[in-house]
Structure 1
């Protein structure tokens, strides 16, 4: 087994961008009927829109934290979860999806730039490092992508 920095970097990027055993975030939200974006199913506490925004906010926070000791994270939990709404515009939807993609690209660029220091603790925080933050993005996005897929199935909007 090869554990050089390039090998680790390539595997992290593959998991950030690829699907491997899971559906990608992009595939999970593709062709979603707009009527289901803000609809809350039954007694569940959130809509697909709220999940998308939560993914966006959390990923943005991780990227910003990974680049600056001056970054102030939003207040938990209210700063990470949007309030329910009955309607969002196509522009809001597309902007959120684009920011998720852009922030993921920024994080991948950060990984590439620091490929030889993936395990070096940030000089701030509680021992976090790029490898740990990459795993956090992968895990968090995957978890909530699964929830999006479940909602789409419950809405009968997933083939």
Structure 2
């Protein structure tokens, strides 16, 4: 697969809404809203996405981070940001990580980066894309349920 595939796939082209766009226009107060139908808030999903995005970026840089023992460790206890600045900074961390993944997609995708598991850079990027894709859909659904969908530019 080409770097073009990964660069476009990281943004959901031809598959789903862009993982950056899914947050567009969402006020920080709404990011922490939960309903009985949703086990997580958008805030919690965003932080979970950041955890795994950072994990895969570490692998792409040739380091092997310690995986969490339980998936619960990758979800924050806090359901909401404490203020707008925290929301904006956290979103910026996510979008910067996505840009970093785009840059990683421009490198040799067949190179082994996780020798312990025998995964190539392309394998790692595919996992990152799939994880972000899954949770992007989850965020779109949560936003629908809490009445904060669609994004303003739609």
Fold shared by both chains (TM-score > 0.5): yes
- 1:55-95 deviations in whole A, cap 9, x for unaligned? 11110110012213353334432331101335422122111
**Counterpart contact for 1:119–1:129, Cα < 8 Å:** yes
Structure 1 stretches of 5 or more lacking a match?
none
1:42 alignment partner in structure 2? 36
Measured after TM superposition, the shift of residue 10 of structure 1 is 0.8
Q: Secondary structure at the match of 1:122?
A: strand
Structure 2 stretches of 5 or more lacking a match?
none
TM-score by length of 1: 0.83
Deviant stretches of 4+, over 4 Å: none
**Counterpart contact for 1:59–1:103, Cα < 8 Å:** yes
1:125 alignment partner in structure 2? 116
Q: 1:100 to 1:86 in 2, by over 3 A?
A: closer
Larger displacement relative to structure 2 (70-79 or 136-145): 70-79
TM-score by length of 2: 0.85
Whole-Å Cα distance in 2 between the matches of residues 124 and 54 of structure 1?
25
Alignment of 1:3-152 (within 5 A): 8-114=2-108, 118-122=109-113, 124-152=115-143
Q: How many residues align?
A: 150
Larger Rg: 1
